[in-house]
């Protein structure tokens, strides 16, 4: 299919993945996390498509705060991010996100076929997925808006469902209705009927068909989107945040008579919770999923993941234990998705752990908070070659910068000096310092900020 130039895969990489805290956070959401293997979820999604689609056509819609990190993940796969990342200034749900990508693509290709995929889903059977993908494109070329309906293997209450009706060709069914997340008894009835499918949130359609349906069912949204002023590949925040917060299901799929569902069974999961991650990954002989430095004794049917510290468990069953450098989450498996309420409590209490990890990736490099208290903070800063960073102080703080690796050029009050490994600089008062990486390799600085009065 790499020869089909008008097929454009669009990855939706928004969202915060709060049900996978403490690994997934607002500034480092689940699509950027490496849960399974060596690839992040967005990298896995790109690789899944790279084997049979032209990556020049890929587009990724994400929040503006994640653009540089999405680009870094793409470049790790030797895929240029230029003109492929579309930044939302704020989240407005899937309808505006999809329309944003579609309008961007229509500038290049009038007869485009768009294939919409959330960037944080996983699929086991690549061959079956490719087969269904090709079928979806063929059905979409006949004027249908195709959604991938996952054949349910158990009565899941965490997904919406799609009821299919008569066959329309290519293995697809017409859509009778979309239904909200059901209770357990209703979900069991859906399973028994055989024509209900999980709503995967994946779609395929011709852009011209979607424009027509938008003009009928969402004319105001279409008008506002086509009139948006752009700054590069990102629309103006002032206008964008005025758009309705509406999903593509509510906006179009539940109203159009062109909706089709393609029954699919290729080992799909949306990895929406720790339990769904546990269900997806292969287990050891005790039914455990273990990743990290873990010693377990009489531990069964548990998900245990660690990043920095040793985790030791004894005599537990059906539990989730997840460790990061600044937080530990422990829950029974069935109630693990309630971690979302913990994230809300962190927000209410003004805690930063809901938002960032101790290690944060920036366009200029990486910062890692080593220690932080009321008296001082210690941060390790790595600057990429050619990068620079401005550090500002005030009358209540003193900054000590120590070069641990590489060579730094520092500029304060228009005075420059070069610092080599082991050399340091102190900055205090209402002063700013520009630090540049003056070498060919990464520059590592340890930055110690003291709180309190500046020294005389």
pLDDT tens string 314-363: 999 999 999 999 999 999 999 998 999 999 999 999 999 999 999 998 98
Residue 452, pLDDT > 70, answer no
What is the model's pLDDT at position 1?
Answer: 61
Most confidently modeled range among 83-87, 192-196, 312-316: 312-316
Question: 303: which 2 tokens?
Answer: 């998900």
Per-residue confidence band for 455, with pLDDT thresholds at 50, 70 and 90 = very low
- Give CA–CA dist 147/132, Å, rounded: 11
Q: What is the mean pLDDT of the chain?
A: 93
Average confidence (pLDDT) over 374-390? 94
Residue 453: pLDDT band (50, 70, 90) is low
- pLDDT above 90: percentage of residues in the chain: 84
Q: What is the mean pLDDT of residues 371-393?
A: 92
For residue 456, pLDDT over 60 is answered with no
Neighbours of 185 (CB within 10 A): 9
**CB contact at 8 A, 270 and 276:** yes
Cβ within 8 Å of residue 301, ≥6 positions away: 283, 286, 287, 288, 317, 318, 333
CA dihedral 233, 237, 242, 244 (to 10 degrees): 50
| Average pLDDT, integer, range 415-443 | 91
More confident of the two residues 51 and 188: 188
- Residues in CB range of 206: below 8 A, 6 or more apart: 111, 112, 113, 114, 140, 141, 143
Sequence spans of domains, the chain: 7-269, 285-342, 362-451
Residue-wise pLDDT for 102-158, tens only, equals: 999 999 998 999 999 999 999 999 999 999 999 999 999 999 999 999 999 999 888
In 3D space, the residue among 420, 300, 428, 437 whose CA is nearest the CA of residue 364 turns out to be: 437
CATH number for region 362-451: 2.60.120.10
Instruction: Specify whether the CB–CB gap between 227 and 115 falls below 8 A.
Output: no
Model confidence at 282, pLDDT cuts 50, 70, 90, reads very high
C-alpha span between 239 and 276 (Å, rounded):
37
Tell me: pLDDT of 429 over 80. no
Task: Classify each residue of 65-85 as buried b or exposed e, where b means 16 or more C-beta atoms within 10 Å of its C-beta.
Answer: ebbebbbebbeeeebebeebb
The model carries a pTM of 0.89
Identical topology for domains 7-269 and 362-451: no
Q: Is the alpha carbon torsion for 345, 349, 355, 356 positive or negative?
A: negative
For the domain 7-269, what is the CATH code?
3.90.550.10
399 vs 1: which has the higher pLDDT:
399
The pair of structure tokens assigned to 257 is 């008579």
């Amino acid at each position: 299919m790499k020869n089909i130039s008008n097929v454009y895969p669009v990855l939706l990489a928004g969202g915060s993945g709060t049900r996978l805290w403490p690994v997934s956070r607002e500034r480092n959401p689940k699509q950027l996390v490496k849960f399974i293997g060596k690839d992040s979820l967005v990298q896995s999604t790109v690789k899944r498509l790279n084997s049979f689609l032209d990556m020049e056509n890929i587009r990724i819609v994400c929040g503006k705060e994640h653009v540089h990190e999405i680009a870094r993940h793409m470049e790790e796969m030797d895929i240029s991010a230029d003109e492929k990342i579309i930044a939302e200034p704020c989240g407005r749900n899937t309808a505006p996100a999809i329309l944003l990508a579609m309008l961007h693509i229509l500038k290049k290709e009038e007869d485009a076929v768009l294939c919409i995929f959330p960037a944080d889903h996983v699929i086991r059977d690549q061959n079956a997925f490719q087969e269904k993908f090709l079928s979806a494109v063929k059905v979409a070329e006949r004027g249908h808006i195709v959604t991938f309906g996952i054949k349910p293997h158990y009565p899941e209450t965490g997904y919406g469902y799609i009821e299919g009706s008569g066959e329309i060709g290519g293995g697809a069914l017409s859509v009778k209705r979309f239904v909200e997340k059901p209770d357990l008894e209703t979900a069991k009835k859906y399973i028994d009927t055989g024509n209900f499918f999980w709503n995967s949130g994946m779609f395929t359609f011709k852009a011209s068909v979607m424009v027509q349906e938008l003009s009928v069912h969402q004319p105001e949204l279409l008008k506002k989107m086509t009139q948006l002023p752009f700054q590069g590949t990102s629309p103006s925040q002032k206008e964008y945040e005025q758009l309705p917060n509406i999903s593509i299901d509510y906006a179009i799929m539940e109203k159009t008579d062109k909706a089709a569902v393609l029954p699919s069974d290729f080992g799909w999961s949306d990895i929406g919770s720790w339990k769904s991650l546990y269900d997806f990954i292969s287990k050891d002989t005790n039914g455990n999923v273990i990743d990290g430095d873990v010693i377990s004794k009489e531990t069964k049917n548990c998900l245990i993941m660690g990043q920095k510290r040793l985790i030791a468990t004894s005599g537990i069953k059906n539990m989730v234990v997840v460790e990061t450098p600044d937080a530990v989450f422990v829950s029974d498996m069935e109630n693990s998705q309630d971690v979302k309420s913990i994230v809300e409590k962190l927000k209410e209490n003004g805690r930063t752990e809901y938002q960032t990890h101790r290690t944060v990736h920036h366009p200029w490099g990486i910062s890692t908070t080593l220690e932080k208290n009321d008296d001082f903070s210690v941060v390790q800063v790595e600057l990429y070659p050619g990068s620079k960073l401005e550090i500002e102080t005030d009358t209540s703080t003193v900054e000590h910068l120590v070069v641990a690796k590489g060579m730094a050029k520092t500029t304060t009050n228009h005075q420059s000096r070069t610092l080599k490994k082991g050399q340091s600089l102190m900055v205090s008062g209402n002063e700013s310092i520009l630090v540049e990486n003056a070498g060919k390799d990464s520059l590592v600085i340890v930055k110690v900020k003291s709180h309190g009065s500046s020294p005389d």
